[in-house]
Amino acid sequence: MEENCLPGLLFRDQDFSSDLLKQLNILRQNRILTDVLLCTNDIEIPCHKNVLVSSSPYFKAMFCDNFKESIQEKVNLQGMDSSILHSIILYVYTGEILMTPENILSLMETASMLQYMKLFEACSAYLQDQLSPENCLSLSRLSEILHCRDLNQKAKEMALRYFPEVATSEDLKELCVLELIDYLGNDELCGEEEQVFEAIMVWVRHDLQARQGYIQDLFQKVRLQYVHPTFFFRFIANDSLIQSSPACQNILELANKQMFSLYSVSAPDVKPFWHVPRRYSCREFLLLIGGRKDNQQTTRDVLLYDEKTNQWLRLAKYPTRLYKASAVSLHSNVYLLGGIPVGNGRNQASNNVYIFSLKLNQWRPIEPMFMARYSHRSVAYKNYIFAIGGIGVNQEILNSMERYDSIYNVWEAMANIPTATLHPAVAAKDQRIYLFGGEDLMQNPVRLIQKCETQFSYLEDAASGHERDNSDECATLILACLFCQFWEFLFMLPDVCENWLIDTCCPSHRYYQTSSDTSNNGDCSCNCDLDCSILETCQESGECLELALEISQVCYH
């Protein structure tokens, strides 16, 4: 009978390596077979060269590449913390080390120097877990010194994600200008442009004498097109550092022309402000507002789609159920215009307007439209919202248009659209609103493209039944003076200025017209002259702004 062949068995002692290290550590502690002393300023640590060489490329090069330390019994490691070096030697012999907030920075620096890369990565992971808006800037700097890419990436992500909190830390004031520019120029920065501007001013004023020369480079990183108009005029245009910099003043003037003027046209060689995207925190949201559910019941629900979780989030419900209202966004707010209130028993078109703040998750009413309307169109252009057409209270198709000034919270009647249509596609571009197609009251398609001006029309409209108060114009005129926009000032003068301009704005001066004077300025075809000191000398921007705000307060409040 043949003998049974037993298979071989590979025995592996899982504890052998750790037990061996423990025995080696006991030998080291008793100075048995040790052949080198690692010395700092105050301690000597006995070690085995073969253990050090096998654990670190640093020690391998020291003891195997004919350096003088290879034949020395004592090796001086000057500048190292004694306790940190002792902890690392214990780690070499036991594989264990205690990381604390107090020792982690020195431990990481020493591990990097001695090339214990797994320990270095463990320190990096520990610091990444400890990252906060208060320390991310300093840790980002440390990671660059230590060439720790993972920690550097995480620290920068933290700084960008929590920029509002980071901007208030003391570490921000210690950044060099290139570091600050790098953060402010990043599209992933989560913060409002107002916070970016304030952070710049804090950084510059921390060392004004040394940093004032950087104000232009830093100011260019503020995306002025996304700054709220009130903040733009009240704080940025009035800041003393901005006013003292001609370059910043040029930037402000260009921004004012492109953002707030309906009359200016950008130069062909100047890029429009809008080519720069919004910051990460201000990227577009997908909102679902109202509508009808499966049971045909009109809902007040407002839903926001979260791209990260692929889920819909419920936001605050709007005040009343509305049917065929129009929604439009401006300055990171959502405006809900008109519609038919459902459930009040009247079922008549409304002229109410509500604004929704994403920051506050709150709805509130604002100035109502001149005309009640539903099934209308709305579009935002610069700082204005245009309500166009729709169906009125008597079920007639409206050809009226009005615009909302978001700066002053007022509505203004505009010239009627040429042909009243329902449900056209609407777009705004280069001071014009375009209406594409639509249908008539019998739902017949309308093959028509219509063009409307976004500039204010002083033509009276019987359908609106409203006439703009002449005193409203004064505030707009003064704001036009803010950036010395002389011809824009003239273009904005209403036809009736002769009746009220003298009494309201310039009572001590005269307005006259000479029929015998046939020479007209190339920029203006009107046959008039203004003898008014407000145009002869440009006022200081702060004075003009203060005057404009006072006038607007009287006119609108």
Q: What would the pLDDT profile of 150-206 be if each residue is shown by its tens digit?
A: 999 999 999 999 999 999 999 999 999 999 999 999 988 988 889 999 999 999 999
DSSP tag of 238 = T
Q: How confident is the model at residue 467 (pLDDT cuts 50, 70, 90)?
A: very low
Bridge partners of residue 6, in order along the sequence = none
CA-to-CA distance for 327 and 371, rounded, in angstroms? 16
DSSP string for 175-193: S-HHHHHHHHT-TT--S-H
Residue 351: helix, strand or coil by DSSP? coil
Give whole-number Cα distances, 412 to 246, 378, 381, 465, 497, in Å.
35, 14, 14, 12, 18
Q: In what order do the strands lie in the sheet with 432-436?
A: 425-429, 432-436, 449-453
Tokens, residue 218: 């830093």
Question: Are 415 and 430 spatial neighbours (Cβ–Cβ below 8 Å)?
Answer: no
CA-to-CA distance for 541 and 235, rounded, in angstroms? 11
Question: Are 208 and 182 spatial neighbours (Cβ–Cβ below 8 Å)?
Answer: no
pTM of the model: 0.58
CA-to-CA distance for 310 and 308, rounded, in angstroms? 6
CA-to-CA distance for 236 and 219, rounded, in angstroms? 10
Bridge partners of residue 70, in order along the sequence = none
| Strand (E) or helix (H) holding 287 | strand 286-289
DSSP tag of 3 = P
Instruction: State the chain's mean pLDDT as an integer.
Output: 79
Q: How confident is the model at residue 23 (pLDDT cuts 50, 70, 90)?
A: very high
Q: What would the pLDDT profile of 330-384 be if each residue is shown by its tens digit?
A: 877 899 999 988 876 677 899 999 999 877 788 999 999 999 999 999 999 888 8
Range 64-86 average pLDDT = 91
Q: What is the pLDDT of residue 354?
A: 93
- CATH superfamily of the 15-130 domain: Potassium Channel Kv1.1; Chain A (3.30.710.10)
User: Residue 509: is its pLDDT beyond 70?
Assistant: no
**How is domain 320-460+475-483 classified at the CATH fold level?**
Neuraminidase (2.120.10)
User: Residue 101: is its pLDDT beyond 50?
Assistant: yes
Residues of the chain with pLDDT > 90, as a percent, come to 43
CA-to-CA distance for 508 and 257, rounded, in angstroms? 30
Q: What is the pLDDT of residue 28?
A: 93
Domain residue limits, the chain: 15-130, 175-258, 320-460+475-483
User: Does residue 413 or residue 454 have the better pLDDT?
Assistant: 413
Q: How confident is the model at residue 283 (pLDDT cuts 50, 70, 90)?
A: low
Q: How confident is the model at residue 499 (pLDDT cuts 50, 70, 90)?
A: very low
Q: Look at the block and give the residue holding tokens 């004004």.
A: 208
CA-to-CA distance for 144 and 149, rounded, in angstroms? 8
Q: Look at the block and give the residue holding tokens 């320990």.
A: 119
CA-to-CA distance for 271 and 273, rounded, in angstroms? 6
Interacting residues of 188 by C-beta distance below 8 A, sequence separation 6+ = 157, 160, 161, 279, 280
Q: Dihedral, CA atoms, 439, 349, 428, 410, nearest 10 degrees? A: 160
Bridge partners of residue 327, in order along the sequence = 336
Buried b (16+ CB within 10 A) or exposed e, 451-468: ebebebbbeebeebeeeb
CA-to-CA distance for 158 and 307, rounded, in angstroms? 20
CATH architecture of the domain 175-258 equals Alpha Horseshoe (1.25)
CA-to-CA distance for 255 and 219, rounded, in angstroms? 12
CA-to-CA distance for 260 and 482, rounded, in angstroms? 12
CA-to-CA distance for 348 and 373, rounded, in angstroms? 9
Beta-strand pair 36-39/74-76: parallel
Q: What would the pLDDT profile of 288-331 be if each residue is shown by its tens digit?
A: 888 877 767 888 888 888 776 788 988 888 888 888 899 998 87
Q: What would the pLDDT profile of 202-225 be if each residue is shown by its tens digit?
A: 999 999 999 999 999 999 999 988
Handedness of CA 308, 310, 316, 322 (dihedral sign): positive
Q: What is the pLDDT of residue 116?
A: 96
Question: Are 448 and 469 spatial neighbours (Cβ–Cβ below 8 Å)?
Answer: no
DSSP tag of 320 = S
Q: CB-based burial of residue 69 (10 Å sphere; 0-12 exposed, 13-18 middle, 19+ buried)? A: middle
Q: How confident is the model at residue 55 (pLDDT cuts 50, 70, 90)?
A: very high
Q: How many CA atoms lie within 13 A of 247 on its CB side?
A: 9
Rounded to 5°, angle at Cα 143 from 140 and 148: 135
CA-to-CA distance for 262 and 242, rounded, in angstroms? 25
CA-to-CA distance for 492 and 504, rounded, in angstroms? 15
